[in-house]
Amino acid sequence: MIINALLFNALWLGLVVIGNAFIPLAIIGLCFHLCIVNNTLHEAKVMAAVAGIGLLADVLLTFAGVFEFTATPYWLLFLWLAFASTINHSLKWVARLPYAAHISGLLFAPLSYLAAERLGAVSFGLSTLSTYLLLGVVWLLLLNVFVLISTARRFNYAKSLQ
């Protein structure tokens, strides 16, 4: 769990600060993660689903003018894969506590976007407060969907055999 949290934070920082040039190191980190998990197939399914939904949300927010990038942020895919790698590990507690996903999504998730903006990875098309509030609502929904995905029976091969 600690290794997972440290890996995510290292990948987040590298991708946000260095951007697309950090992608090869992110791939190595994600492969390392998949090598050390117990159920690689389940993990890969959850990661693909979470990253796909999360990336779609960010793309829609970009098209809506909430996010502005100076160059195509291919690194966002790897940032989402890195985040997705935490759902069954360092963020597993969110699934166990009914309101944890609500509070975490609403209050804390937007802070990572504010940090990314301060580090120059993204600009906001709205005011900081409006962006924070919008992201809070988006993440309130997203984190609950991600918890459902991580606990869904069809994503877990071992459970589907029972």
pLDDT of residue 155: 60
Q: What is the pLDDT of residue 105?
A: 83
Distance of alpha carbon 88 from alpha carbon 1, whole angstroms: 9
State how far the Cα of 39 lies from the Cα of 34, in Å rounded to an integer: 9
Q: Which phi and psi angles does 119 have, rounded to 5°?
A: -85, 0
Q: What is the mean pLDDT of the chain?
A: 92
Judge whether residue 58 has pLDDT over 70.
yes
pLDDT tops 70 at residue 49: yes
Q: How far apart are the C-alpha atoms of 135 and 127, rounded to whole Å?
A: 12
User: Across the strands, what pairs with 68?
Assistant: 123
Q: How many domains does the chain have?
A: 1
Contact status, residue 52 vs residue 161, Cβ threshold 8 Å: no
Determine the pLDDT at residue 160.
42
Does residue 1 register a pLDDT over 90?
no
Task: Report pLDDT for 101.
Answer: 76
Judged by average pLDDT, the poorest of 35-39, 66-70, 130-134, 152-156 is 152-156
Determine the Cα–Cα distance for residues 98 and 31; give it in Å rounded to an integer.
31
Q: Which domain holds residue 156?
A: 2-160
Q: How confident is the model at residue 11 (pLDDT cuts 50, 70, 90)?
A: very high
